[in-house]
Structure formats: C-alpha cells, structure tokens
Amino acid sequence: FVEVREGLARILVPKAERIYDAPVFYNPVMALNRDISVLAVGVLKPRTVLDALSATGIRGIRYALETPVEEVWLNDISEEAFNLILKNVRLNLGVDGERIGERRFSFEGEKKVIANLDDANRLMAEKFRYFDFLDLDPFGSPVEFLDTALRSVRRRGVLAVTATDTGVLCGAYRHACRRKYLAEPIRGELCHETGLRILIGTVVRYAAKYDLGVEVLLAYYRDHYFRAFLRLKSGARKADGSIERLGYLWQDENGRFGYENSFLPKRPAVYGPLWLGPLKNQEFVDEVLKLANEYPLAHKKTLPFLETISEELDVPFHYDTHALARRNNLQVGKLAEIIEILRGKGYSATRTHFSPMAIKTDAPFEEVLEALRSLQ
Ligand code: SAM
C-alpha cells in the first residue's frame, strides 16, 4: 500500500501501475468529484449518509472528517475493499471499532462510522428510508442501484449519482443507452449535456413510481463522468411535476436545435426522453461556492469549476462555436466577442462548463449564427 492524502483524510491505496489494475479502486482525478460532494454534504447537513460503493472508503471517510454528518455507512461488495476500508477508518478515526455482525463493523469516534461488506442493493433494501444523503459512485452506470437507492433514501433526502458510462449516454453505444436508460442518445456537440439530461430523466422516471419528485440541486459533466445531486420531493403531485419537465430534443445539420416538453415525442427524429428542467438550484450552488472559498480543497480545479457553474446561464443546451462554424462554413470567432455581441442585443449569454468552446444563451439560433458571421 501507499498512503495518499486527500482533503483531511489519509488513505492507504494499493500500489498499481494503472488505476484499473489495482485490487481496490482509487482515482485521484475524482478528488474534484469528492470535493464537490463534501461541500454539498457540508451545505445540506444530513444526519445519516451512505457511501454505497466505497472501494477504499475515501469518500465516506471525507464525509465523516470534513462535514457535520453524524453517521456514515461505507459499503463494498469486495472483501479486499472491505478490509482496506476497515484499515482506513481506523487510520482516520483513531478507534479500533467493534464487530456488530458477520460482515459489519461499527466505529464510534467523534462520528459514528459503519463499514459493511455486502451487495449495495441488499444493504439498501435492509435500510429502508434510512439515509438523508445517499451516494452512488459505481463503475459505469448507476441504473442497477437506482430502485433500491430510491427506497433507502429518506423521502425528502438527497440522492447523489455518478455515471462514468459516458460512451453509452453520449451515443457511442446507442443500443446500450436504449437498454439501460430507455432513451435515444445524440452524438456530436450536444452529447454531453444530453447525456446528463438523459441520466437525470431516468432518475425522474424511476422516482415517479414511488410518488417522488426530483429537484436538481447541481448536475454537471467533467472528466468523462456525469454527476447529479438530486433532492427528492415526496408526493404524487411532485412526481407529476417532474414528469412534466421531461421532453425531447431535435437538431438539424446546421446545428439548429429545439426541444419540447412532452411525455411522448411529437415529431420524428428526436432524442430523449430527457430532463429539460434546471441543472442547478442557484441558491444551493452559491452556498456550495461560498463554502468552497473558505475550505481547504483537495483539487485545484474545484473552485474555478464551481465558479463557472455558478455563473452559467441555466437554459437547456448550448452552442459549440467550433461545431457551428464547421457546420456553416464559417471561421471560429472568439467566445468572449460572441458573448459580447449577443449581450449587446439584449440577450443573456455565458460560458458553460460543458465545453470551453461553447456558450449558453437565450438568443435564437439565427442570432448566434449572425454573431459568428459578423466576426468573419
Ligand atoms: N466511491 C469510490 C471513490 O470515491 O473512490 C469509488 C468506488 S468504485 C468506482 C466502485 C466500487 O463498487 C468498487 O470498489 C466495487 O468493488 C464496488 N461494487 C461493485 N458492485 C457492487 C455491488 N453490487 N455492491 C457493492 N459494491 C459494489
């Protein structure tokens, strides 16, 4: 093992040439994901948290050390991971812990930490409506855990999901997207935002059958993964309200796109169903950002990334200036200048975290194209 430091945690991780060769998984790039998660938990102040797919335990241990949470559960199906979780919890909490079941240890330090060896679905089925904050951070798609997660999280709790199957959600493997998400993905410059919206749309449809609505607190794409923090809302009306925010996207060869809120598609050649509602709650994001400014973060990009998200106009989809120029035989203009022109005409326009070459705007397609033309 080698010891690494991340946030306030010290973690033993297996030595390996490449991260996917290690017997227990640890990816330092995901420190940004964990930073934002720690900040989110810091703002939300849940009492009970589950890190359902824990690997080394880093995520749950950071929650225990860096947030006001009272009780954290760390779970993994792998025995090697479980044994490492036990080591890492002892290292960070400074208590030995006691066995409270064949596959379960409890540690009572300043915080209560429980380490569990099991299939996440079995643990979540056991802990019905127990967790205020439930984190799914799987290899690939979280869909196989969604049903039990929605039963295990409290009815006004928060579900945090990561999806690393970007190839599926971004249309490289369309049939896999149909199977896992029952949705039609798009390829090209809108694939990342669409992938994120398909993921959220899927959670909305899973949640609706339990009479749960979904509010997006924060959702983003970064480093080939998607992440969404979703606040559940209890009640059939809330579920209806979330379903009403589902819809479809279409796009033509010039890059012009449109979308419509509707339960069933109204025109051919569409992508979806997907979430067309907001990708953030501005108040929540600003609180997360405020905490980030006061906080020793593990990843140097966490703060600038959160700033971009905070300033980003929250409308569905964006214009990738390179794709737009290519599709319409134009030269690429400077992003700042295009934004300036659109704002000069009274539209809102900002950069977007989805791509350094793209803008979000409420201006119609023709105006964006016109701005690009005027810079030739
Ligand atoms: N959350 C960790 C972090 O932030 O470093 C990384 C988790 S890793 C991507 C996914 C973990 O899920 C692996 O350790 C794997 O053993 C575990 N896993 C896979 N299937 C599982 C299941 N059905 N139940 C519980 N754990 C599972």
Atom of ligand 1 nearest to the CA of 30: 4
137 lines ligand 1 (CB under 6 A): yes
The 10s digit of each residue's pLDDT in 187-235 is 999 999 999 999 999 999 999 999 999 999 999 999 999 999 999 999 9
Identify how many contiguous H helices and E strands the chain contains and give both numbers: 14, 17
Q: Does ligand 1 have an atom closer than 6 angstroms to the CB of 332?
A: no
- Which residues are registered as beta bridge partners of 4? 11
Mean pLDDT confidence for 57-63: 98
Is the distance from the beta carbon of residue 58 to the nearest atom of ligand 1 less than 6 Å?
yes
Mean pLDDT of the region 102-109:
96
259, pLDDT greater than 90: yes
**How many percent of the chain have pLDDT more than 90?**
96
Mean per-residue pLDDT over the chain, rounded:
97
Give the per-residue pLDDT at 17.
86
Atom of ligand 1 nearest to the CA of 24: 14
Q: Ligand 1 pocket, 59 CB below 6 A? A: yes
Q: Could you read off the pLDDT of 313-335 as tens digits, one per residue?
A: 999 999 999 999 999 999 999 99
Q: Which atom of ligand 1 is nearest to the CA of 76?
A: 26
pLDDT at site 106: 98
**Geometric angle at alpha carbon 224, from 301 and 277, rounded to 5°:** 90
pLDDT value at 52 more than 80: yes
Residue among 77, 79, 80 to mutate when testing ligand 1 (max atoms within 8 A of CB): 77
Of the CA atoms within 13 Å of residue 225, those in its CB half-sphere come to 21
- Please list the residues that pair with 360 across neighbouring strands: 350
Q: Which residues touch 200 (CB under 8 Å, ≥6 apart)?
A: 214, 216, 219, 228, 230, 274, 275, 279
Ligand 1: residue whose CA is nearest its atom 5: 26
Atom of ligand 1 lying closest to residue 137 CA: 1
- Please name the residue whose Cα sits nearest to atom 12 of ligand 1: 53
Residues in the chain, overall count: 376
Mutate to test the pocket of ligand 1, among 6, 13, 54, 161 (most ligand atoms within 8 A of CB): 54
For residue 152 and ligand 1, the question of a CB distance below 6 A is answered with no
How far apart, in whole angstroms, are the C-alpha atoms of residue 115 and residue 99?
A: 10
β-strand pairing of 153-163 with 225-234:
antiparallel
- From 4, 21, 25, the mutation candidate for ligand 1 (largest count of ligand atoms within 8 A of CB) is 25
Alpha carbon of 160 to ligand 1 centroid (Å)? 14
Q: What is the pLDDT of residues 126-174, one digit of tens each?
A: 999 999 999 999 999 999 999 999 999 999 999 999 999 999 999 999 9
CA-proximal residue: ligand 1, atom 14 (nearest): 55
Does residue 269 surpass a pLDDT of 90? no
d(CA 25, ligand 1 centre) in Å? 8
Confidence band of 278 (pLDDT split at 50, 70, 90): very high
Percent of the chain with pLDDT over 70: 100
Best mutation site among 20, 53, 58, 133 for ligand 1 pocket (most ligand atoms within 8 Å of CB): 53
Is the overall model pTM greater than 0.95, yes or no?
yes
Task: Provide the pLDDT for residue 375.
Answer: 95
DSSP code per residue over 72-97:
EEEEES-HHHHHHHHHHHHHHH----
What are 61-84's pLDDT values in tens digits? Answer: 999 999 999 999 999 999 999 999
